Structure 1
């Protein structure tokens, strides 16, 4: 390190990506600091996937109680204590944040509690302290924040960030949006006994997912008691004596006690000093980076959601590792953003990897073979419930490689992790078929689908 700098690396943001890059670099003997304005752990640990998964788990019990009755159990008076759950969840989140803190310290990273703002390409100010520091290299890993459009009454809304810490559960809620956060929270609230309406301006939920997945999930969440209103958006929210009146563009008026907007997230770049340091943004407002996560400024890099590439925790971590290898170990590495398996913890959940049918048809030079099945699993067939599972394989007809796998139903996220290996490895449909089924499971259907859907041509 040149003695003119305080640090070899200064990381802004202590989320999954920032923490990994800081730790690896410090463990390699470099002088590293990380600044975090809120709590170490970032979106995923503090106000994202981890607390959300706990909420999904808590909300699934209502459904499990119904299933139990179908299997001969008599369920007594069951009730849910939101405050007890919320406090237990916060205790666990604090424990996890503490682990991140401890691991950073153990690696020799200096943790700075405060908001860092760029003053120039090598200088960072910690807001409110009057302290400025310099660094040879800077990594920006500040993530994203929920976005709420501006309309009359929008000040009455909450986002996922407030949903984790509600003082009490509302009796009625409107969840706005059609993406995975909206669908997941609709399931959470409905499962916790809240009268839930999902409002989305599009024609179908989960835009960008396979169309069969979107249509199937829409039907299934309605079976779970969620009212789905499509092709409508808010014109206003008015506070009344008894709640909040949601005025929608399709003429519907819905009164609820809370309105949660999950209409997308935006890179958290406001007031970061990017223009002062000369860092360029994309048209969408994300930090513009190359394949090695480097910005247009030679000593500044960015990873994770702030770059708006693939906004998933494991991707941010991989980008952080690749950054460290490239910059500090002279081993240039990029992250392959193709065929990343992902899960939606809706109820029922979704697991998906690779191409949707529409994407495959756009790409394919010749034909696409589609194998799809929907069925009632043993558990639901046993007591006559109508819940159905969907499985779909998208196959390139020429190479016979399975290029997309889409599952909706119990344990879909667990299955897709393993299916992801097969898709990433480029295995053929024949190799899937050659794999012996595990019986009786729902997953066995993935290797038993033999009937091609007609009309395979591009």
Structure 2
């Protein structure tokens, strides 16, 4: 059968764009459909603009600390529209860059919603096309609770980048990475921040020592963290502000409410049910380790599979799929030892097993920690401390986990992730000469 395209990608986020580009590079005739903007969540309304806000927020403390380093900056002030508009302008630049990449590689772009209407058939806008292979890379979307009255009065991470003004008081519901990142951003920019959690700890999947340290630092900075405070109702007051009703009769009044309660796979409305595509309990598309669904011509990568919701994972999955289908190279994504970060204030970074995970899987482990004040904090007169933690398999001396909270933790951990991935031993770390004076030298000085 002759098809209109060899490869049709639904969703022009990081995974979809990479897969389309690689497939086109192998000589395939490729099309991609995107109903919003080319670039996807990470580039348009996720990790990239959020990281720019994080950088902007860091100046709040830097300007204060500068005085201890001899700098006098008079009359400083913050203007939210300036930061917001510069961030959005950079998003526009990246959107153009992603589109240019597709155009350069000869990928046909449909700026319209796509839906499967039969085997190898896609309706895109007002036309139908056929493709030998179809990839779904539609990502995930913010989850808004459907069991809380008035929940629609809040916003999500999709809308937060477009706020007209910086809220004087904001409540952020959630304890995961998105909630903690925006709590740090808004606090540093001058908002009064209340962070509301259903449970009793931040970042429940992370190394407990890091999560506990972040909680202590956040509260010391002035973020009002409410634990075991499940929201029950959102009430709008006469002056336009909101009253968030919590468990045990508690309330908090704010000017803005941000839901940061997780993300759900974006797989609805794609025609999957009529074709019998297998989905799991959260609506995610079920795939094997090659990104294949239960239909031989249909594939899925990235957050829509709900496997690992990280941009680099989606990119690698999309690349591997294109290589297998069109490049004659069949390789698998390795999901072991994926590094991750939380760009909170201060940031966290982690790779490998946490201490509880290592004790459960390996039995005997050795733990090494460095708990110190970075030089900048010492001279600035800040008591805030960094914490580094290494988890080592006692039987083999192999480094199986590394966890950090402190300035530049994600930048430092990327190199250490190589050591964990390579299976280096603690003895090999100890044999590495320290680079002095740095925070990173602590990683080779723990005894």
TM-score using structure 1 length: 0.95
Task: Give the secondary-structure state (helix, strand or coil) at the position aligned to 1:79.
Answer: coil
1:159, 1:383 → 2: CA distance? 35
* Residue 220 of structure 2 corresponds to residue 223 of structure 1: yes
Alpha carbons 1:121, 1:278 under 8 Å: kept: no
State whether residues 342 and 416 of structure 1, in contact with CA within 8 Å, keep that contact through their aligned partners in structure 2: no
SS of the residue 2:442 aligns to: helix
Distance 1:105 1:142 in 2: 20
Q: Secondary structure at the match of 2:211?
A: helix
Distance in 1 (CA, whole Å) between partners of 2:233 and 2:430 is 53
Q: What is the distance in 1 between the residues matched to 2:257 and 2:414?
A: 33
Alignment match of 2:427 (pick from 430, 444, 451) = 430
After TM superposition, give the deviation of residue 285 of structure 1 in Å.
1.4
Larger displacement relative to structure 2 (11-20 or 147-156): 147-156
Whole-angstrom CA distance in 1 between matches of 2:56 and 2:163: 15
Q: Secondary structure at the match of 2:249?
A: coil
Tell which deviates more after alignment, 282-291 or 30-39. 282-291
**1:357: which partner in 2?**
355
Q: In the aligned structure 1, how far is the partner of 2:65 from the partner of 2:275?
A: 58
CA displacement at 1:384 relative to structure 2: 2.7
Q: 2:138 aligns to what SS in structure 1?
A: coil
Using the TM superposition, give the Cα deviation of residue 72 of structure 1 relative to its aligned residue in structure 2, in angstroms: 3.2
Question: What is aligned with 2:340?
Answer: 342
- The gaps in structure 2 that reach 5 residues or longer are none
Contact 2:22 2:323 (8 Å CA) reproduced: no
Q: CA deviation at 1:270?
A: 1.2
Q: How many angstroms does 1:241 deviate by?
A: 2.4
Q: 1:225-264: CA deviations, max 9, x gaps?
A: 2111111111111111241111111332111000000000
CA RMSD of aligned residues (A): 1.0
Cα shift at 1:155 = 1.3
- Whole-angstrom CA distance in 2 between matches of 1:269 and 1:218: 34
Matched, 1:138 2:131: no
Once the two structures are superposed, the pairs formed by residues 202-351 of structure 1 within 5 Å of their partners are: 202-242=199-239, 243-351=241-349
Paired residue secondary structure (1:164): helix
Residues 32-431 of structure 1 correspond to what in structure 2 (within 5 A)?
A: 32-126=30-124, 129-150=125-146, 151-242=148-239, 243-364=241-362, 366-431=363-428
Shift, 1:181, TM fit:
0.4
1:322-353 CA distances to partner (integer Å, 9 max, x unpaired)? 10121112321110111011111000001110
Q: How much does 1:121 deviate?
A: 2.4
**Cα displacement string for residues 356-401 of structure 1 (whole angstroms, at most 9, x for unaligned residues):** 011101100x401011121111111224311110000000000111
**When the two structures are superposed, what TM-score results if normalisation uses the length of structure 2?**
0.98
Secondary structure of residue in 1 paired with 2:331: coil
Shift of 1:75: 3.0
Q: Cα deviation per residue 1:171-230 (whole Å; 9 max; x = unaligned)?
A: 000001000000000011111111011111111101100100100111112233211111
- Tell me the equivalent position of 1:456: none
* Number of corresponding residues: 445
**Cα offsets for 1:50-74 (capped at 9, x unmatched):** 0001110111111111211232333
SS in structure 1 opposite 2:158? helix
Write the distance in 1 (CA, Å) between the matches of 2:248 and 2:337.
38
Q: In the TM superposition, what whole-angstrom CA distance separates every residue of 1:133-182 from its partner, at most 9, and x where no partner exists?
A: 11110000000000011211101110011101111111000001000000
Instruction: Report the secondary structure of 2:171's partner residue.
Output: strand
Q: Which runs of 5+ in 1 are unaligned?
A: 451-458
Bigger mean CA deviation after superposition, 217-226 or 284-293: 217-226
Q: Indicate which of 428, 442, 446 corresponds to 1:445.
A: 442
